[in-house]
A and B are shown apart, each in its own frame.
Chain A
Amino acid sequence: MPADNVLTLRNITKSFFGAQVLHGIDLAVRRGEVLGLVGENGAGKSTLMNVLGGVVPRDGGSIELKGSAFEPTSPRDALKAGIAFIHQELSLFSNLTVAENIFIDELPTGPLWSVQYEQMRAKAQEYIGAFGVEASPVTKIGSLPMGVRQTVEITKAVIKNAEIIIFDEPTTSLSQKEKESLFKLIERLHHEYGITIIYISHILEDVFALCDRIAVLRDGHLVGVDETGRLDKPAVIRMMVGRDLSQVYPKVEKTVGDVVYEARNVVQGRAVQGVSLELRTGEIVGLFGLMGAGRTELVRCLFGVDRMDSGEITFRGRRLRSITPEACIRQGMAFVTEDRRQEGLFMPKPVKDNLVAVGLRHMTGLLGMVKRPQESAEAAKAVGNLGIRVQDPERQQAKSLSGGNQQKVVLGKWISQQPTMFILDEPTRGVDVGAKHEIYEIINGMAKRGATVLFVSSEMEELMGVCDRILVMHRGQIIGSLERSEYHQERIMSLALGGRGR
C-alpha cells in the first residue's frame, strides 16, 4: 500500500573537504508519522538534517517535499516550506518575553506602529494553554527553566504552521519530569496537529517509545528503516555498529606498569556525576560515549581547563592540590583539546610559535630572554619527528596547514615536553586517513616510552584498534570497562546507550 510521503530524500550525497559524509541516502518520511533517526556520532545524522534544513547545500540527489521539488538555500527557505528545527541551542532571547520571542520576526502591529500585545498574548496563550507551558506569555525567557524554554521554541514552530518538526537530541538538558512533558507534547503534535516528526536521539528507550519507524545511519549510509514493532534494541545496535573491522592498526610492543594516575569521584554539574578511574604507565585507555555522555567535560576537569565541583586527583603518588593547566603541565601532563581551532592553536601565528607554546618556559636564558636557536631547533625537531608537512615553519601560519598537519602541530607542542600523562580529546577528528595512522603510531610510541594515554573518541573502531582498555561513559558516569579481549562493537554501543552490556 503506497504510503503518503510528505518528504522524500533520494540519493543524497555530501562531502566535506574531500571526505564523503553522506553516501546516497534514500529516505521517505510518511505524513504524520514519528520517525526516529539513530546512529553513532559522525554517522551523518546532523549533516543529513542540515541538508534538509538548508544549512548546507547537498552535492547530489534530490528532495521532494509535499509533492514538489525542494531546493533550500537557507534556513529561512526551510522554515517557509514548513520545516522547523528544534536544536539543542535554542534561538530564544532571554531578555524578551515568551510572546515576544514567539512572534519576534513578524510582530503584529496596529496604530502608531505599536506592537499588538493583546493580540499576541491571546494567540500565544492559546498554544501555551494547549501545550501546558508553565509560564504566562509575559514572562521573560531568561527566568524560565530549560524545559519550558524548549516548549516555547516548539510553540514557535507550531504557530508558524510547521508541518515537519525535527528534534535534535532534545532531552540532553532536561530533567526527567521535563522529558515526560516533552513526550506528551510530541504525542499531541502527532495526534492532534498531524505534524510529522523526525526525532534524532541516541537514547534508544525514548526512540522506541515515541517513534513509529526507526531509521539507522552508519558511516553516512542508511543501513535500515523499519517499523518500530518489528525491531528490538539489539537489532538496532547491530545496525548502528555492524561494520567490518577492516582497518589495520599499528601494533606496538610495550609493557603496562603500575597505577600512576587516579581520579576519585569527579563531579561537575550534571555533566560529570562522580567519575573515578585508574590509569597505568604504558597504558592506552580509551574513553567512549555518545553525545552528552560527559567525556569532554570530564577530561577538561581533569586538566583544570574547567573547574570541577569536587573530586580528587592523585598523580605519581601525590595528590594534586590545585588543578590548573599550568599545574598539570608542571606535573608532566598534556592535553589535546577537542577543538584545535579555538583552544589548540594560534591560527594566525607561525607553526614554530605553535610548536613551542608549551615548552617556551624552558627555553629561556638570561633575564627571561628566549633562546631563539633552541626554539627553532625544537620546532624543527618536532616537524621532523611527527612528519608535519610544512614548507617554512618559521613563517607559515598554522591556519594554512591541512587538518591532519594542524593536529600534528598540536601534538607536537605537547610531545616536546615528554609528558608522562597524555589526555587526547578526539585527536583524529577532521584528519585524513594517512595522518590518522601516523597519529596512532605517535600514540603508540608514547605508550612504549612509558607514558599514560587517555584517548577520548567517538570512533569505536579506532579505540578498539589502539587501546588496551576502553571505558564507556553514559550520562556523566563510567558505566563499563572492557579489556582488549572483551572488545565487542555491540557490547560497547549497548553500554554507551545505557544498557548493562554483558
Chain B
Amino acid sequence: METMTAKTSTLGRLRRFALSESILLLLLLMFGGAALFAPGFLSLFNIKNLLLQSVDIMVVSVGMTFVLLNGGIDFSCVAVLALGSVFGAWTMADSPLAHTPMAIPAGILVMVGIGLLVGAINGLSVVVLKMPSFIATLATMMVGSGVAVWFASLVAEKASIIGLPESFFILGGDQGILLPVAIVLVLALLAHWLLSTTLFGRWVYAVGTNPRAAFVSGMPVKRTVFLLMVLSGVFAGIQSVLATARNQAGIPSLGDRVFIDIVASIIIGGTSVFGGSGSVIKTVYGVLFITLLNNVVNLLGIEWYVISLIKGILVLTAAFIDVFSKRVDLVQR
C-alpha cells in the first residue's frame, strides 16, 4: 500500500491550514463583509455588544465541546443555566446567607455546584447505566428545567428572582465589559490547555476516536467519559454565574433559546459529531461566528427569525462536510 506523501510544500501547508481552519477564514470573511456592508457595525457600541453576546454562550459551548468530542451531546446545559441562576440568585437574595459578606461566594458556589451535580448525574447515567448521552441529558434537562421553574415560582411572586447584591453585577459587565470578557477568555484558555496539553485531553481524543482501542491501551475510558460530562456541567454552571450577573436576576427560563446556538457553534466550528476531532479554539471561532451572524442579521434589519433558517442550513452544511470528509478518507484508503 502506498503511503501518503506528506505535504511539506508551502502550497500544501497552506491548503491544509485552510481546510482545518476554515471556520477562522469564514469568520474573518464575515467580519470583513459586515464591516463593509452592515451599517454601524464598527461602532464601539456594537463591538461591545458583540463581545457581551459572545460571552453569553462561550463558556457553556466550550464545556460542551468535550462531550461532542466523545461523540455525545449534552442537552442539560441549558437546564443548568436555569437551575443555577434560580438557586444561585435565591442564595444571594433571599436565603439566610443573603446580605452577608458570604452571599456572593455562596451563590457562585451553588451555581457551579449545581453544574457539577448535573454533570455527575449525566456521567453516571452514561457510564454506569449505559444510557445514550442524548437521552440521559435530555431527561436531566427536563427534570432540571422543571425544578428551576418550580423553585422560582415557590420563592418569588414574579417569574424571576431579584434583589441580588449589586456588587455581583460586575461579573455581568455592569462596570465595563472587561471583566466578563477576561473571565471567559481565561476559562477558554484553561479548557484549551486542558484539552491540548494534558494527559486528560489526550484521553478525551483517544476515547472519542476509538474507545475500544483506548481501553486495550490502558486508558481509563469510563473515568474519562464521566469526567468530561462533569466538566460540561461545571462550565454550564459557570456560564450560569455570568448570565445571572448580566441579567441581574435569577431567571428560570434562562437558556431557553440558546441551545441551538450552542450546538451550532460547536458543529460549525468544525468539531465532528462522531467524536475524536475538534478543539476548543474551533468552538471559540464558532461562537464568534454565530454571534457575528446574529449581530449582522440584526444590523441589516433582517427579521430575527430568518436566522433560524440560516442556522439550520449552516448546521446541515457542516454535518454534510463532516460526513463527506470521513467518506473521502475511507475511499482514499
- Judged by CB atoms under 8 Å, the answer to whether A and B touch is yes
Q: How far is the CB of A426 from chain B (nearest CB, A)?
A: 15
Among the stretches B125-133, B140-148, B204-212, B311-319, the one at the interface with A is: B204-212
Q: Contact: B210 with A325, CB < 8 Å?
A: no
How many Å lie between the Cα of A397 and that of B329 in the bound state? 10
Which among A305, A346, A364, A391 is the interface contact of B199 at CB below 8 angstroms? A364
Q: How far is the CB of A237 from chain B (nearest CB, A)?
A: 36
Q: Contact: A346 with B1, CB < 8 Å?
A: no
A433 within 8 A of B: no
B99 within 8 A of A: no
- Name the interface residues of A326-348: CB closer than 8 Å to any CB of B: 326, 328-330, 335, 337, 342-348
Q: How far is the CB of A257 from chain B (nearest CB, A)?
A: 26
Among the stretches B88-96, B169-177, B213-221, the one at the interface with A is: B213-221
Which among A305, A367, A396 is the interface contact of B216 at CB below 8 angstroms? A305
Which among B3, B198, B217, B276 is the interface contact of A357 at CB below 8 angstroms? B217
Q: Contact: B210 with A400, CB < 8 Å?
A: no
Q: Contact: A342 with B213, CB < 8 Å?
A: yes
Q: Contact: B202 with A360, CB < 8 Å?
A: yes
Q: Contact: B212 with A358, CB < 8 Å?
A: no
- Which residues in A have their C-beta under 8 angstroms from that of B333? 399-400
Q: How far is the CB of A422 from chain B (nearest CB, A)?
A: 14
Q: How far is the CB of A442 from chain B (nearest CB, A)?
A: 19
- With A346-B206, A368-B198, A370-B202 already in contact, the answer to whether A402 and B1 are too (CB < 8 A) is yes
Q: How far is the CB of A86 from chain B (nearest CB, A)?
A: 29
- Name the interface residues of A364-413: CB closer than 8 Å to any CB of B: 364, 367-370, 389-392, 395-397, 399-403, 405, 413
A500 within 8 A of B: no
A349 within 8 A of B: yes
Chain A interface, DSSP helix/strand/loop, else mixed: mixed
B277 within 8 A of A: yes
How many Å lie between the Cα of A367 and that of B217 in the bound state? 22
A17 within 8 A of B: yes
- With A389-B3, A392-B8, A395-B6 already in contact, the answer to whether A413 and B199 are too (CB < 8 A) is no
- With A326-B220, A348-B329, A395-B6 already in contact, the answer to whether A17 and B1 are too (CB < 8 A) is yes
Nearest CB to that of B333 among chain A residues? Answer: A399
Q: Contact: B217 with A358, CB < 8 Å?
A: yes
Which among A325, A348, A358, A370 is the interface contact of B276 at CB below 8 angstroms? A348
- Which residues in B have their C-beta under 8 angstroms from that of A329? 218
Contact with A along B1-13 (1 / 0, CB 8 A): 1011110100000
Q: Contact: B197 with A370, CB < 8 Å?
A: yes
Which among A17, A346, A367, A396 is the interface contact of B210 at CB below 8 angstroms? A346
Q: Contact: A348 with B209, CB < 8 Å?
A: yes
How many Å lie between the Cα of A401 and that of B5 in the bound state? 11
Which among A326, A367, A401 is the interface contact of B218 at CB below 8 angstroms? A326
Q: Contact: B213 with A344, CB < 8 Å?
A: yes
A361 within 8 A of B: yes
- Which residues in B have their C-beta under 8 angstroms from that of A368? 198-200
> 3 closest Cβ contacts across the A-B interface?
A392-B6, A402-B1, A329-B218
Can you list 27 pairs linking A and B with CB atoms under 8 Å apart? A303-B216, A325-B215, A325-B218, A328-B218, A335-B216, A342-B210, A342-B212, A342-B213, A345-B210, A346-B206, A346-B209, A346-B213, A346-B214, A347-B210, A349-B205, A349-B276, A353-B205, A357-B206, A368-B199, A368-B200, A369-B199, A391-B4, A396-B4, A397-B4, A397-B329, A402-B3, A403-B1
A: residues with CB less than 8 A from B are 17, 303, 305, 325-326, 328-330, 335, 337, 342-349, 353, 357-358, 360-361, 364, 367-370, 389-392, 395-397, 399-403, 405, 413
